[in-house]
Every structure is written in structure tokens, then in C-alpha cells.
């Protein structure tokens, strides 16, 4: 494990506290000498550390770090805070739940605290912006416990994926490709293809990978292929934290599933998750499932349609239509 645990603090840490206690700076050691340089900065004082914190936690116009009261009301954030934190016990952590439950906000705050760009991309990319000023300030209230520094990582955000493709296409990034053809133009690829391209390039064994709804733009077959890539990387020491609605990705082995409900947060098995149960119900009786949504006026060729409904549809098809001259 790279990330062992995290917890939310009652107040944001000062720059000096961050420098002395937070593993964020330890995790920033992506090149030789960075850790020693950060230790020297601590001895010199908090000025440079304050600048680094500003890159992660934006301040408002008055210079105060925004508390983001709305974010504390999100079900997932409330759950983690009420339990005194969250421990990561398996290589893959899957977070499921409805829209607005706090999955993306949590991943964003965690990514910022650990030193990823708020826009996503590979860990340590100097061309990616650290913060935009629009994100919640929860990252300054997080304290993460790492077993070892983050030397490789990737943060996938579907909504900023195109922006990250542009950054991945700068000459220095192209020259450093390990798997992708340097001549490949990622902007010419479809959304789903490019997601698979960048994950294939950056998800490579031991590292910390945070994926926010990676199934967006991927076919069912591609989702199964991604699931295989995740399992292979996890077997080589990779750690994944994934927010997803996909019943396919929720089937990852070696995974702990955390599901956010309306009134509670639980740790179900794959079969017990809402996404899997809803999908099974649909395929078992699609007509009944769609009747629940649209009413009774469904196409009679759907499984479960009555003989009367099929006959009525045939009559409607054969009936001549009036033509107005």
C-alpha cells in the first residue's frame, strides 16, 4: 500500500504544520533530491512552504482559505469525518453512489492534498496547474498517512480529460512516452480511445492511481479490458481509488467497495451494490423496469410484452395512414 489512511481535521493545518507533519511533501519526492530540498525548506522557515500550500489550497480575495461549508454536508465526507478517518486495506478501493454524494469532491481533495494537479494527469507533471481557485478547500483539512512516497501516479478526471490531452502532447511529455507511439496525436482519438491510451501509458505497476468515473466514453468491452488492466497493475503493486457507476468495474477482485446511499454508507459485496442489482433487474425483466420509468406505452417486442400488446402493435402497423392533400 502507498496510501494507508486519511482523516479530516477540525481546522486547516498551518503551512509550518503541513511542512512538519503532512506526508504531502514526502509524497512529492518524484525526483532525487526533492525530499532533501523540502527538508531544507522546513529549516529555512515557512515562506516557501506557504507558497507550496497556496498551489494546493486556494485562498479567497481576503487571503482566507475557504471553508467550503457545502462540501462538509456531502454524504461521503460526513461519513469519513464521523468515523474518524478512512483506512485503505486493499489494492483497489471502489466508491459507488448516486450523483452528488461526494465521490468526485473527495477524489479532488485527496488528489490536491497529495500533490496531483486539480485538472488531473500524471503525478509530478510540471505543465499541469495545481489549482484553479474553484475547488473545495477540503484538501487543507486532510491528513494522509503514506507507507512510502508516491513515485508514480495518475489522476483521471473525465471533465478535464481533453485539457490533459493537450498537456500530454507537449514535446517534453511526448519525448518521455514509454508505451504510446510518440507520433500518435491523442487529440485525434475518440474520448474513449484516448482515455484508454493515457491509462495504458501511465498506469504501469507500482503507483497511486485515482480514477473518477473512468467508464465514461468506454464501451462495455473496453470497460472489461480496463478492469483487466487494473487487476494486472494491482498485482504489480499499484493502488487504485476509483469512483464509478459501472457494475463491470465494481467487479474488480482484490477490491473493497464503499457505497454511498441516501441515509448511510456501507461496504457491500459486488452483488449487493445498487448498480449491480438495478442492472440485473433490468435484464431479468426489461419491460417491467421501463414501465416503471415510462409507463405502459412500451414497444411490445420487448421481453415480457403480452400477446395482446403484440397484436395491438401489429394492428397499428398495418392500419393505413390518412394522407392530407
Q: Could you tell me if 54 and 146 lie in one domain?
A: yes
Structural domain harbouring 78:
3-270
pLDDT of 250: 97
Contacts of 324 (CB under 8 A, 6+ apart): none
Answer yes or no: is 279 within a domain: no
DSSP, res 154? E
CA 304 to CA 323: how far, in whole Å?
Answer: 34
Q: Could you tell me if 246 and 303 lie in one domain?
A: no
Q: Could you tell me if 79 and 223 lie in one domain?
A: yes
Q: Could you tell me if 311 and 175 lie in one domain?
A: no
Q: Could you tell me if 120 and 154 lie in one domain?
A: yes
Longest dimension (CA), the chain: 90
Q: Could you tell me if 210 and 290 lie in one domain?
A: no
Residue 122 φ then ψ, to 5°: -75, 150
DSSP, res 170? S
Q: Could you tell me if 124 and 155 lie in one domain?
A: yes
Contacts of 98 (CB under 8 A, 6+ apart): 260, 262
Q: Could you tell me if 230 and 302 lie in one domain?
A: no
Cell numbers linked to 298: 412500451
**Bridging pattern class, strands 255-260 and 265-266:** antiparallel
We report the CATH number of the domain holding residue 127 as: 3.40.50
CA 201 to CA 176: how far, in whole Å?
Answer: 10
Cell numbers linked to 191: 474520448
Residues in the chain: 325
Q: Extract the runs of DSSP E, i.e. beta strands, from 17-118.
A: 86-87, 92-97
DSSP letter for each residue of 183-242 = T--GGGS-HHHHHHHHHHHH--SSEEEEEESTTTT--HHHHHHHHHHHHHHHHTTEEEEE
DSSP, res 254? T
Number of domains the chain is built from: 2
Which residue has cell 395512414?
A: 321
Cell numbers linked to 196: 484508454
Answer yes or no: is 278 within a domain: no
Q: Could you tell me if 225 and 310 lie in one domain?
A: no
Q: What is the pLDDT tens value at each position of the chain, 325 positions in all?
A: 899 999 998 777 654 454 445 444 444 444 445 555 555 544 544 444 444 444 444 444 444 444 567 788 888 998 999 999 999 999 999 999 998 888 998 999 999 889 888 888 889 887 777 666 666 678 888 889 999 989 899 999 887 777 777 777 777 777 778 778 888 887 778 888 888 888 888 888 899 999 999 998 889 999 999 999 999 999 999 999 999 999 999 999 989 999 998 778 999 999 999 999 999 998 998 888 888 777 655 555 655 555 445 445 555 555 555 444 4
DSSP, res 130? S
Q: Could you tell me if 129 and 229 lie in one domain?
A: yes
pTM over 0.85: no
Tell which residue, 131, 128, 135, has the closest CA to residue 153: 128
CA 88 to CA 145: how far, in whole Å?
Answer: 10
Amino acid at each position: 500500500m502507498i496510501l494507508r489512511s486519511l482523516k479530516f481535521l477540525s481546522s486547516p493545518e498551518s503551512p509550518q504544520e503541513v511542512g512538519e507533519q503532512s506526508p504531502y511533501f514526502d509524497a512529492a519526492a518524484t525526483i532525487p533530491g526533492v525530499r532533501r530540498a523540502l527538508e531544507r525548506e522546513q529549516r529555512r522557515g515557512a515562506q516557501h512552504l506557504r507558497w507550496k500550500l497556496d498551489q494546493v489550497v486556494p485562498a479567497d480575495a481576503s487571503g482566507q482559505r475557504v471553508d467550503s461549508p457545502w462540501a462538509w454536508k456531502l454524504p461521503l465526507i460526513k461519513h469519513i469525518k464521523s468515523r474518524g478517518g478512512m483506512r485503505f486495506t486493499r489494492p483497489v478501493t471502489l466508491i459507488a453512489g448516486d450523483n452528488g454524494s461526494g465521490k468526485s469532491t473527495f477524489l479532488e481533495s485527496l488528489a490536491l492534498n497529495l500533490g496531483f494537479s486539480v485538472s488531473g494527469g500524471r503525478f509530478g507533471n510540471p505543465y499541469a496547474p495545481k489549482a484553479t481557485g474553484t475547488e473545495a478547500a477540503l484538501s487543507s483539512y486532510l491528513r494522509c498517512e503514506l507507507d512510502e512516497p508516491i513515485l508514480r501516479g495518475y489522476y483521471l478526471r473525465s471533465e478535464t480529460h481533453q485539457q490533459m490531452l493537450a498537456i500530454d502532447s507537449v514535446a517534453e511529455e511526448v519525448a518521455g512516452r514509454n508505451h504510446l507511439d510518440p507520433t500518435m496525436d491523442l487529440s485525434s482519438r475518440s474520448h474513449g480511445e484516448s482515455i484508454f491510451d493515457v491509462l495504458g501509458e501511465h498506469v504501469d505497476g507500482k503507483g497511486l492511481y485515482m480514477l473518477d468515473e473512468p467508464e465514461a466514453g468506454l464501451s462495455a468491452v473496453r470497460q472489461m479490458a480496463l478492469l483487466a488492466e487494473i487487476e494486472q497493475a494491482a498485482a504489480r503493486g499499484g493502488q487504485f481509488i476509483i469512483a464509478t457507476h459501472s457494475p463491470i468495474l465494481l467487479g474488480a477482485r482484490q477490491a473493497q467497495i464503499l457505497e454511498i446511499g441516501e441515509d448511510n454508507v456501507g461496504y457491500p459485496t459486488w452483488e449487493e451494490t445498487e448498480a449491480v442489482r438495478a442492472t440485473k433487474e433490468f435484464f431479468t425483466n426489461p419491460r417491467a423496469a421501463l414501465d416503471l420509468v415510462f409507463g405502459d406505452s412500451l414497444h411490445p417486442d420487448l421481453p415480457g410484452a403480452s400477446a395482446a400488446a403484440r397484436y395491438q402493435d401489429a394492428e397499428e402497423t398495418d392500419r393505413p395512414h390518412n394522407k392530407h392533400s
